[in-house]
C-alpha cells in the first residue's frame, strides 16, 4: 500500500463528519497509560509472510510501554476535538537460523546467528466529534496513525545486514463508546479504529472498565489489541498482532 494522506487532507475529511453534540465548555484531560502487549506474527519484503518473529528470529515481546494521553474538547461545532497518544513498540532478538531466509535482498543461511529488530512505534492523533454526551457517550472521527519504526536483520559480524524504514501515515475511521453507570462514577467502554485498503488492514481496539471521581480523577483498565496486515507498506509485508492488558490513570478538568 503506497498511498497515504497528508495531515491537511485528513483534517478536511474530519470536518465533513456530521455533528449533533459538542462540549459546553473547554475540557482538558491528561493521563498516563501503560500497555503490556504480546507480539506474534511474520513478515518479509518479498510478498510472502515467511519470516516468523519468534521461531526464526527469537524476537521478544515489547517491553511494557508507557505513554502520555492528552485530550482537548471544546464547544466550537466546526472543529474536531483532539486526542493524542503514542506507543513505543521497539523490540529485538537474537537467534541461530534453522533454515535460510531472505529479507530486503539479503540472504541469511541456516546456522547463521542473526540479530534483529522489529519496531512498529507510532503516534495516534484522534480528530473526533461528540455525537452523544449523556449517560451514553459516542465519539466519531479519524485516528491518524503515524508510524515511525523499522525492521532490520544483521548477522553476528555485521557482514550482512538489511533494514527497512517504516514511515507511513494511515487514517483510520474511529469510533468510541462509553456507558456511564448511574450515580456511581463507574463506566464501561470501547474504542475501535479500523482500515482496509488494497490488501492492507489495520485494526486498533480497546475494551475497558473505569471509574471517574467527582473531581475528575479517574482510572480505567482493560485489554488492547493492534493487528496489522501490511501489503507493501514502506516495502514491508507483515501480518502481526500486539495484544495485552491496558491501564490508564488520568485527570479530567
CATH number at residue 195: 2.40.128
What is the pLDDT, as a whole number, of residue 133? Answer: 84
Domain around 102: 7-252
Say if 83 falls within a structural domain.
yes
| Sheet strands (E) in 88-216 | 90-96, 101-103, 106-108, 113-119, 122-133, 136-155, 161-180, 186-197, 200-212
Average pLDDT, the chain: 89
Say if 2 falls within a structural domain.
no
Say if 1 falls within a structural domain.
no
d(CA 242, CA 88): 12
Say if 143 falls within a structural domain.
yes
Say if 248 falls within a structural domain.
yes
The C-alpha cell at 181 is 453507570
Instruction: Report how many domains make up the chain.
Output: 1
d(CA 248, CA 253): 16
What is the pLDDT, as a whole number, of residue 91? Answer: 95
| pTM of the entire predicted model | 0.86
- Low-confidence residues of the chain: pLDDT under 70: 1-24
Say if 17 falls within a structural domain.
yes
The b/e string for 151-166 (b: 16+ C-beta within 10 A; e otherwise) is bbbbbeeeeebbebeb
Amino acid at each position: 500500500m503506497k498511498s497515504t494522506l497528508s495531515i491537511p487532507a485528513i483534517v478536511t475529511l474530519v470536518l465533513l463528519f456530521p455533528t449533533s453534540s459538542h462540549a459546553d465548555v473547554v475540557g482538558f484531560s491528561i493521563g498516563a497509560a501503560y500497555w503490556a502487549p504480546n507480539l506474534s506474527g511474520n513478515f518479509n519484503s518479498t510478498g510472502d509472510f515467511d519470516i516468523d518473529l519468534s521461531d526464526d528470529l527469537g524476537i521478544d515481546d515489547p517491553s511494557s510501554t508507557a505513554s502520555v494521553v492528552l485530550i482537548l474538547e471544546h464547544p466550537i461545532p466546526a472543529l474536531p476535538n483532539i486526542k493524542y497518544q503514542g506507543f513505543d513498540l521497539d523490540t529485538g532478538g537474537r537467534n541461530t537460523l534453522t533454515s535460510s531466509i531472505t529479507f530486503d535482498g539479503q540472504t541469511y543461511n541456516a546456522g547463521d546467528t542473526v540479530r534483529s529488530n522489529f519496531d512498529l512505534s507510532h503516534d495516534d492523533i484522534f480528530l473526533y466529534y461528540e455525537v452523544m454526551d449523556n449517560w451514553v457517550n459516542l465519539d466519531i472521527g479519524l485516528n491518524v496513525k503515524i508510524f515511525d519504526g523499522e525492521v532490520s536483520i544483521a548477522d553476528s559480524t555485521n557482514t550482512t545486514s538489511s533494514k527497512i524504514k517504516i514511515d507511513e501515515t494511515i487514517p483510520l475511521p474511529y469510533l468510541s463508546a462509553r456507558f456511564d453507570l448511574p450515580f456511581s462514577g463507574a463506566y464501561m467502554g470501547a474504542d475501535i479504529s479500523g482500515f482496509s485498503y488494497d490488501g492492507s488492514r489495520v485494526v486498533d481496539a480497546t475494551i475497558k472498565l473505569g471509574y471517574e471521581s467527582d473531581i475528575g480523577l479517574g482510572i480505567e483498565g482493560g485489554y488492547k489489541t493492534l493487528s496489522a496486515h501490511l501489503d507493501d507498506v514502506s516495502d514491508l509485508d507483515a501480518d502481526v498482532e500486539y495484544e495485552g492488558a491496558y491501564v490508564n490513570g488520568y485527570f479530567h478538568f
